[in-house]
Amino acid sequence: MNIPPKGMRLHIGLFGRRNVGKSSLLNALTRQHVSIVSDVAGTTTDPVEKPMELLPIGPVQFIDTAGIDDAGTLGEMRVQRTRQVFDRTDLGILVTAAGEWGAFEDAVLDELKLRKIPVIVVLNKHDLSCEGQAVPEALIDADIACVQVSCVTGQGLAELRHALVQSAPDEFINTPSIVGDLVPPGELAVLVVPIDKEAPKGRLILPQVQTIRDLLDHDACCVVVKEHGLREALNRLKTPPALVVTDSQAFQQVSADTPDSIPMTSFSILFARFKGDLAEFARGARAIGRLKSGDRVMVCEACTHHPIEDDIGRVKIPAWLNRSVGGELVFTHLQGHDFPADLGDYKLVIHCGSCMHNRREVLSKIIRCRQAGVPVTNYGIAIAYSLGICERALRPFPDALQAFEAGTGDLGAGAVSVDR
């Protein structure tokens, strides 16, 4: 399938009151009937997502939301779903109509500003206003882009698309590298890819595919082997590779088979940097050394695959951490966009590589953990810490290594053996 991953798309959230034309605007922008449109306020309930290409940005993901002014018990649930969309919004569109700017719009604008999310205000239903709509003073004073649009006539849609391109965060115009900055052009990386029960039939998992593509984009070479073929592959090479990248579950064997002179890390750690804050994840790993039996640990997984009997998040990581602690921890497992408002009961949050989330959503979770005073780390870093090889796995990333070494706790505390 030649479809860009959802987590790589610019997420554009549409916010506003009920019946201001958010769904009509989404349909007009995508030139498709994506969202149901009616004159009945509150037609949109759950967020509606639609991917499309927006050049020169490339793949984007529009998210239509329920009205922020919805009322009643069910309405409050809809508003809560809308607020969750803020966590994964890279660029906001605040939709309003003539004469309707008020407290609700101010609240949405304040939330977007607080999160440092760029925003465009759309004055919709321009066809119903004979003399056009006056731009609210709050927008003029804040120097916020404002576009008058009619979804019926199409007026202003071209200007809105241009404003979206101009307001997009730079990382979506100049995409950062996953691994290309670690492997010079013409140099070689060896990728270790176990084919086990969790490997999808007939294909590689997304982080592996994206890493290969990033190496090709940076004119580097790669060799892909299974974990038991690494030593022979290294012996056959005339010169050592610039980097060895492994599935975190094979860390123990790969670390043993890779000479210490060759940099080594994991796909999960690469994505901790690409999708989140690697230094924060590295600091968070130190909390593993302070865990004790009975402490609560949250394990978050971005995708919603059906867990298998040897699942990495539900079976392997809990087993490794229990061995490290020397007791039984209490684990809570979450999937997809779910993330609790109250983190006070947890001593540690461990997140997957987040190939299915965009970076904004991962950073939102990190910020909420930081505000709650709860350490947060990543699958790969947690596994490396449990094995006592965290320093080596972070060596390709000096800033993250420094953050890890500056933390508290004994380096390599609780190292355990991993049986695959």
Which of 50-59, 67-76, 258-267 is predicted with the least confidence, judged by mean pLDDT? 67-76
pLDDT at residue 388 in the model: 93
Looking at the fold, whether 217 and 287 belong to one and the same domain comes out as no
Looking at the fold, whether 111 and 208 belong to one and the same domain comes out as no
Sort 201 into a burial class: Cβ within 10 Å, 0-12 / 13-18 / 19+.
Answer: exposed
Question: Comparing 143 with 306, which gets the higher pLDDT?
Answer: 143
CATH of the domain at 242: 3.40.50.11420
**Is 292 a member of any domain?**
yes
pLDDT at residue 131 in the model: 58
408 contact partners, CB below 8 Å, separation of at least 6 = 286, 290
Closest to 384 measured CA to CA, from 283, 285, 272, 244: 285
Looking at the fold, whether 39 and 161 belong to one and the same domain comes out as yes
What number is the average pLDDT over the span 291-320?
Answer: 85
Looking at the fold, whether 246 and 306 belong to one and the same domain comes out as no
**Is 254 a member of any domain?**
yes
Cβ atoms of 245 and 188 within 8 Å: the answer is: no
| 420 pLDDT more than 50 | no
The number of domains in the chain is 3
Which of 25-34, 102-111, 193-202 is predicted with the least confidence, judged by mean pLDDT? 193-202
**Is 420 a member of any domain?**
no
What number is the average pLDDT over the span 249-275?
Answer: 96
pLDDT at residue 83 in the model: 86
Q: What is the domain range of residue 58?
A: 6-172
pLDDT at residue 45 in the model: 60
Q: Which residues pair with 59 in a beta bridge?
A: 53
Which of 166-180, 229-243, 329-343 is predicted with the least confidence, judged by mean pLDDT? 166-180
CATH of the domain at 68: 3.40.50.300
| 393 pLDDT more than 90 | yes
**Is 182 a member of any domain?**
no
Looking at the fold, whether 97 and 151 belong to one and the same domain comes out as yes
pLDDT at residue 31 in the model: 82
What number is the average pLDDT over the span 184-204?
Answer: 86
**Is 208 a member of any domain?**
yes
CATH of the domain at 374: 3.40.50.11410
Question: Comparing 237 with 98, which gets the higher pLDDT?
Answer: 237
pLDDT at residue 223 in the model: 97
Pairing of strands 119-124, 145-148: parallel
Banded model confidence at residue 82, pLDDT cuts 50, 70, 90 = confident
Banded model confidence at residue 354, pLDDT cuts 50, 70, 90 = confident
What number is the average pLDDT over the span 341-358?
Answer: 90
Looking at the fold, whether 231 and 369 belong to one and the same domain comes out as no
Chain-wide mean pLDDT for the chain? 86
Looking at the fold, whether 84 and 39 belong to one and the same domain comes out as yes
Among 205, 234, 268, which residue terminates a domain? 268
| 408 pLDDT more than 60 | no
Q: Is the bond into 169 cis (omega within 30 degrees of 0)? A: no
Among 237, 268, 299, which residue terminates a domain? 268
| 85 pLDDT more than 70 | yes
Looking at the fold, whether 200 and 166 belong to one and the same domain comes out as no
**Is 153 a member of any domain?**
yes
In angstroms, what is the C-alpha Rg of the chain?
A: 24
